[in-house]
Structure 1
Amino acid sequence: MPLSLSHLGDLLALYLERHPGERGALGPLRAALDAGGDPASRAVLPGDLAYSAVVIDRDRRVLHVRHRTTGRLLVPGGRFEDSDGTLSAAALRTAEEETGLPASSFAPMPGFGAGPIDIDVAPARTPTPTPTPTGEEPAHPQYDFRFVFRLADDAPEPVPRAEEADGTCWLPFDQVSSPGLRAKLNGSGPTDGAVPPSSFPSGSVPQIVGVHLWLERDGKVLLGLRHPDSAYAGSLWHFLAGHCETESATACLAREAYEEAGLVIDPADLDLVHVVHLLHRPGVPPRVQLFFRARHWEGVPELREPDKCAAWRWWDPKDLPDALVPYARAAIEGIGTGRLYTEAGWSR
């Protein structure tokens, strides 16, 4: 689907909350987004949009690709295509294409969520012809939205496309060429996403937020069969689901839908249909499980993470499998009766 101004605006707002000192440099882009219009049009945006994938391994190194034409070492990146849906999905696609690694090799880096780690403002690498008196286009910036991903420990070696790249290499944070990205990486500290206990109000405990996709076709709902070796719910059927990082619930679910099944969903097309407040057992953090119905989506469910999901299947809500995650069954029953809220695991 085409890139939306609301998507760009949300990403920019989230970024500026973390980096208010960059409001000046990003002011023209912010003003253009506030004015509305087609984000693909130069008449609307004051420059070009680009994206990059910052892939980090367990040794805190960043994957770079050496481009054949220029010899430069760059992180994977490119320009948006309508089939991408979101900039983070575009970055993930390009990471796959330029490194030869499967999508299952990449995961969100805890602590960064769906928003960009850096937005670089630089002159466009390749000018676009425009009808000017001199035949040359005035200088204009390029806005590079950079998204960070964690490399899976069992990922294979990257094999870049020979026609475009001479090879790949891993660079430590302090050798990353972009000053802005280097500063943010070096200032990130441990990326475990932990929040100091003192930041919570007295007497409260953190609650994990889970998101689940209610995808319905011909009266049937999509469920996935968890891999037998999965750390959670092995050999049970469950919704396409994930846990929120530093991101909105709908943005998280749109990301998970693409990463797990190759489905493209606009967060604006997700409606909350049920909530399960779940306590698995005493002593573990409670979970707030949110279920969203997609009013529109693109794509056919794929097994993009076969180590987690072994099959996708459409099920009649009135004829569900016996091997189904209990709170998922409770949510399906609640949605069927129009009930919005369920509690599970709590003693009364």
Structure 2
Amino acid sequence: MTALSTEPPGTAALLVNSRGEYLLHLRDANKPWICDPGTWSIPGGDREGTESCRQAVERELYEETGLRVPVEPLTVVDTHGPDGGQSRIQVYVGAWEGDAGTLPCPEGIMFRWFDAETTAWLTMCPWTAEVIALHRRSAPVPAAKPPRVGGSRARLNVLGVHLHLQREDGRILLGLRHPDVAFAGRTWHFLAGHCETEGALACLIREA
């Protein structure tokens, strides 16, 4: 047995930008063999062969994002695999300032930046939420600006608008709705909303 065998089998990388946002990865919801399907998490994976945790996280980060970012150890967390077995993950932290939308995504669905407050509204991988909470305690990040809430403009109205955006390659823009909303929670949907005091076109622009 080598000393490497005492290291956690799993690794992950928490990337943070100067605005205090975290780079999260949406896992595929339809692959039962992956851990925490359908949740927002962070890139990473298991050690291979005689790799150290650092070697593994650098390789996994490059394979999943194309990035080579200096990282430092942050914490070790416990997690449960798709078979229910318990495992451990060595989590590293690093800084990156790029556009999440430009990253390749060979595994999962997409990468996006989220501020710390918004993560409370996401369907989060449990151990990733734990890691973000730990990082916030050790390195506080700026609080998110509260959402702008309409005042007296809102009125009862049954007219709704939906925006269908489609690229030339056939891909359609959809948004994943929050689980607590009154309509179509936890589903992918067009940009949409109800008219307030404006016309349908103005409402569509506002909602978008």
**TM tier relative to shorter chain:** 0.5 to 0.7
**TM superposition shift of 1:331:** 1.3
- The answer for the alignment partner of 1:244 in structure 2 is 47
Change (3 A) 1:250 1:208: closer
CA distance in 2, matches of 1:283, 1:237: 19
Amino acid at match of 2:116: P
Change (3 A) 1:248 1:333: same
Task: Give the total of aligned pairs.
Answer: 131
Specify which of 108, 111, 123 is matched with residue 309 of structure 1: 108
Specify which of 272, 283, 307 is matched with residue 73 of structure 2: 272
Specify which of 56, 65, 72 is matched with residue 261 of structure 1: 65
SS of aligned partner of 2:118: coil
- The answer for the alignment partner of 2:128 in structure 1 is 328
Report if the CA contact (8 A) 1:212-1:241 is conserved.
Answer: yes
The normalised TM-score by structure 2 is 0.53
Amino acid at match of 1:310: I
Report if the CA contact (8 A) 2:15-2:96 is conserved.
Answer: no
SS of aligned partner of 1:223: strand
CA distance in 1, matches of 2:29, 2:95: 31
Report if the CA contact (8 A) 1:261-1:302 is conserved.
Answer: yes
Specify which of 7, 18, 22 is matched with residue 221 of structure 1: 22
**TM superposition shift of 1:273:** 1.4
- The answer for the alignment partner of 2:117 in structure 1 is 318
Specify which of 227, 230, 235 is matched with residue 38 of structure 2: 235
CA distance in 1, matches of 2:59, 2:129: 24
**TM superposition shift of 1:322:** 2.8
Change (3 A) 1:318 1:251: same
Give per-residue Cα distances to partners, 1:194-246, cap 9 Å, x unaligned.
Answer: xxxxx69xxxx988521111111121010011112232222211101111112
Report if the CA contact (8 A) 1:212-1:239 is conserved.
Answer: yes
Change (3 A) 1:330 1:253: same
SS of aligned partner of 1:273: strand
SS of aligned partner of 1:328: helix
Report if the CA contact (8 A) 1:227-1:235 is conserved.
Answer: yes
Change (3 A) 1:251 1:299: farther
RMSD of aligned alpha carbons: 3.1
The structure with higher relative contact order (CA 8 Å, sep 6+) is 2
Change (3 A) 1:287 1:315: same
Amino acid at match of 2:45: G
For structure 1, the residue ranges without an aligned partner over 5 or more in a row are: 1-198, 340-348
**TM superposition shift of 1:272:** 1.0
**TM superposition shift of 1:279:** 5.2
Query: Does residue 288 of the first structure (1) align with residue 92 of the second (2)?
Result: no
**TM superposition shift of 1:318:** 1.9
Report if the CA contact (8 A) 1:263-1:298 is conserved.
Answer: no
SS of aligned partner of 1:330: helix
| Aligned-pair identity (%) | 21
**TM superposition shift of 1:280:** 5.9
